[in-house]
Amino acid sequence: MAKVDVATRLGEIAERLLSSLGMEMVDLEYKREGRDMVARLFIDKEGGVSLDDCAAVSRELSDILDAEDFISDNYTLEVSSPGVCRPLKKVADYERYVGRLVKVKTYELLPDEDGNKRKTFLGELKGISEGVISIALKEGQHASIPLDKVAKANLEFEF
């Protein structure tokens, strides 16, 4: 099975399992590291996930993957929380974390409201509407960033 097919099927199986446990999949990586593949699953739930949650998901998902037996490569399964700098992947993430400090990196230079072009935007997430993220930047300006221009977005730890 092709790498993309494995990642897609793995994601579908993980989503079903996590949904039944009241959790969500934040991200999934399936990539080669050294000679073998790594399936890295980042999970979350309301109030955060514990080490016990990660271990339980890892055990249950391993059992399912062993039974399904569709991954021909040698692989390691890793299950963890997304951490304090959680990635923002879905529209629901941008809606959930309004008011939080975020860092958004874009594929290309984009202007803030003063016309300053940049690829990195740091500030308070004000919301998302019609596929455009609104951020009040730390420097005082405002930026509107189309979601399809976002290369990477994360919550930032506030001291």
Domain at 91-155: CATH architecture:
Roll (2.30)
Q: What is the mean pLDDT of residues 77-83?
A: 91
User: Residues 14-54: pLDDT tens digits?
Assistant: 999 999 999 999 999 999 999 999 999 999 998 889 999 99
Q: Looking at the domain 3-80, which fold is it?
A: GMP Synthetase; Chain A, domain 3 (3.30.300)
| CATH 2.30.30.520 segments of the chain | 91-155
pTM here? 0.76
Q: What is the mean pLDDT of residues 50-65?
A: 94
The DSSP bridge pattern shows strands 117-129 and 132-137 to be antiparallel
* Sheet strand arrangement including 132-137: 142-146, 132-137, 117-129, 101-111, 150-155
Nearest to 104 by CA among 115, 114, 112: 112
Scanning the chain, the segments in alpha helix (DSSP H) are 3-20, 51-68, 91-96
Gap between the Cα atoms of 83 and 36, Å rounded: 25
User: Residues 118-140: pLDDT tens digits?
Assistant: 999 999 999 999 999 999 999 98
